[in-house]
Amino acid sequence: MSELTIQGWTERALADMTADLRTLVELETPSDDKTLLGAGIAAIERWLAERLGEPGERRLHDGGKYGDALEVAYPGTAPGTVLVLCHYDTVWPEGTLTEWPFTVEGDRVSGPGAFDMKLGLVQAVWALRCLSELGMPRPTVRLLLNGDEEIGSPVARPLIERLSEDARATLVCEASADGDLKTVRKGVGLFEVTVTGVESHAGLDPDAGVSAIHELARLVGQIATFGDRERGTTVNVGLIEGGTGCNVVAGSATCGIDVRVSEPDEMARIDAAFAALRTSDGRASVTVEGEWNRPPMVRNPGSDELFEIAESIAAEAGWELGQVGVGGASDGNFVSAFGRPVLDGLGAVGGGAHARHEHVLLDHVPGRTALIAELLMALADR
Q: Nearest-CA neighbor of 24 among 99, 107, 108, 125? A: 125
Contacts (Cβ under 8 Å, ≥6 apart) of 333: 185, 187, 294, 295, 296, 297
CB of 231 closer than 8 Å to CB of 262: yes
CA–CA separation, 318 and 308 (whole Å): 15
- The full DSSP string for 100-167 is S--EEETTEEE-TTIIIIIHHHHHHHHHHHHHHHHT----EEEEEEES-GGGT-TTHHHHHHHHTSS-
Q: Which helix (H) or strand (E) holds 10?
A: helix 3-12
Taking CA 141 as the corner, what is the angle to CA 137 and CA 146, rounded to the nearest 5 degrees?
155
Q: Are strands 108-110 and 359-361 parallel, antiparallel or unpaired?
A: antiparallel
- Give the active site residue among 3, 28, 89, 358: 89
In this structure, the number of other CB atoms found within 10 A of the CB of residue 107 comes to 13
- Any catalytic annotation for residue 89? yes
CB of 226 closer than 8 Å to CB of 261: no
- Any catalytic annotation for residue 311? no
Per the DSSP assignment, residues forming a β-bridge with 170 are: 83, 342
Q: Are strands 57-61 and 69-74 parallel, antiparallel or unpaired?
A: antiparallel
34 phi and psi angles, rounded to 5 deg: -60, -40
248 phi and psi angles, rounded to 5 deg: -120, 125
- Give the active site residue among 149, 215, 344, 358: 149
Q: Which residues are part of the catalytic machinery?
A: 89, 149
